[in-house]
Structure 1
């Protein structure tokens, strides 16, 4: 499942937020007698992961997540929502004491305007997205925005591409840093055309940018596919990692469905002091309400690492 799918899914129910009365808001706020206390780590679901229980409204899904122990969300497609909807999400999160995780920087580097090429028109699009992120962060109370530098510019030497990316990100950091906003660079495994591939490559770029507003988004699913050796690479890059996302491999579904030992990994980052949102950027192994119950149970299982 690619990020574009998550963004599309996030926007499917935008019209359901404004107006109307929620059946979930009026009904039972628990499912199957599950333990609803807050988790040890701050896992952040996406829109759509609980829609069978909570309905299409993003606000009702946030409330459902809170009622089942979650204290954060992610919203990749936040920039595509109306201002009114963005503000409603921000107000609800503030009311519940929940954290906004990442939202994707609008046109923040992709195959169509890759930062590796060093073209001013592409950099200008990226910088416009950085300025927009300042306003978006104010509405939702968040401080993390995802940036993917884009595809390889295969007509240029690799080191020149790296220098072009660093220069563009430095300029973006100048916009974000005064507001305390952090762009988190995400190495991906979706296609071999993508420039940013590994945690250590991203670490080098962050060191080159040299700003508190440019850090690593360590997506465990992508890094398992691209490099493995997860805990060792987390330790190597720790001082530049600002954010984590999950998804088991193969399949990019909830923890316990694949080969990654998430219980050990979560204990490791908890012991190292991580308390930020852990974004649940994955699908579900089972459809319908049954799959949502299974999703919550999986996170309860792997979150049980303090005993």
Structure 2
């Protein structure tokens, strides 16, 4: 599965996947007016508001800004033509928005298995890091996602970890001079992936020892893999540079699953977090109704002040 195609492939569900497990849309009533910015900096992705904004990416960005969102997340940025990257960067600047993560991806980054230590994988990773620096300049990006690849059953875990650390050091040598930070993301998509927990990622970041190698703490994945969200977030906080959102089960907007996002967002805010929280999830309901419900869900979860 190509990670950059995740958002395109994720199921949008249907009317049966009602917001908050069947709650009415009125349950998301907010005291804030439409268009006001949020307390935290949530970043939608392209396609999330096509019902309102249509297919044009610039129109989608304008709609996001009009709803009070201040950032964009675009996993597939590297796969876009350079002229489109430039347009995205220009529109973000015009709207006063920030760029969230894109993926350091050579087509299917899970197959660049840095755990193996194989030269061809490391060379590819280094090349894509160089390409990522140029793409980041076009959109003023500061963070890019890295997934080290699959767990290798024929190699001891310590050897795999060492291979990953050495490859990431090569990457940081390229990224650090340009102010671009790779954020390592532990995932729950398949148990075959090497990186799965926040403490494992924390240890690797400490070993790499660079300001350009930090943690992407995806709340959805971490709820599935380890739970105890606030405790684990606190223990790894000094290495967390980026956060992503998705409720569980279902990987939809806050309020559709078991995670108490009001408390989680309140805690993140109390830590003084000024970074971006990427909305890497699908819409629980289709069409304009689903988009309105999603925005209202964020208004509700953001009411911690």
TM-score where L is the length of structure 2: 0.90
Q: 1:2 to 1:305 in 2, by over 3 A?
A: farther
User: In structure 2, how many angstroms separate the alpha carbons of the residues matched to 1:187 and 1:113?
Assistant: 15
1:196 maps to what in 2?
A: 195
1:298 maps to what in 2?
A: 297
Asked if structure 2 preserves the Cα contact closer than 8 Å seen for 1:107 and 1:125, the reply is: yes
User: In structure 2, how many angstroms separate the alpha carbons of the residues matched to 1:299 and 1:222?
Assistant: 19
User: In structure 1, how many angstroms separate the alpha carbons of the residues matched to 2:112 and 2:69?
Assistant: 36
Segments of 5+ residues of structure 1 without an aligned counterpart are 11-32
CA RMSD of aligned residues (A): 1.7
Matches within 5 A, 1:37-186: 37-107=36-106, 110-186=109-185
Asked if structure 1 preserves the Cα contact closer than 8 Å seen for 2:2 and 2:109, the reply is: no
> Could you list the per-position Cα deviations for residues 203-223 of structure 1 after superposition, in whole angstroms to 9, with x for gaps in the alignment?
000000000000000000000
Segments of 4+ moved more than 6 angstroms: none
Asked if structure 1 preserves the Cα contact closer than 8 Å seen for 2:7 and 2:280, the reply is: no
CA positional deviation for 1:286? 0.5
Asked if structure 1 preserves the Cα contact closer than 8 Å seen for 2:2 and 2:108, the reply is: no
CA positional deviation for 1:110? 3.7
User: In structure 2, how many angstroms separate the alpha carbons of the residues matched to 1:292 and 1:2?
Assistant: 25
User: In structure 1, how many angstroms separate the alpha carbons of the residues matched to 2:108 and 2:168?
Assistant: 10
CA positional deviation for 1:154? 1.3
TM-score where L is the length of structure 1: 0.90
Q: Which structure carries more relative contact order (alpha carbon 8 Å, separation 6+)? A: 2
Asked if structure 2 preserves the Cα contact closer than 8 Å seen for 1:123 and 1:168, the reply is: yes
> Could you list the per-position Cα deviations for residues 147-177 of structure 1 after superposition, in whole angstroms to 9, with x for gaps in the alignment?
0000011111000000000000011000000
Asked if structure 2 preserves the Cα contact closer than 8 Å seen for 1:188 and 1:222, the reply is: yes
1:26 maps to what in 2?
A: none
The alignment of Structure 1 onto Structure 2 pairs a total of residues equal to 284
User: In structure 2, how many angstroms separate the alpha carbons of the residues matched to 1:134 and 1:251?
Assistant: 34
1:212 matches 2:204: no
Asked if structure 2 preserves the Cα contact closer than 8 Å seen for 1:109 and 1:126, the reply is: no
Q: Name whichever of 108-117 and 161-170 sits farther off.
A: 108-117
Asked if structure 2 preserves the Cα contact closer than 8 Å seen for 1:9 and 1:47, the reply is: no
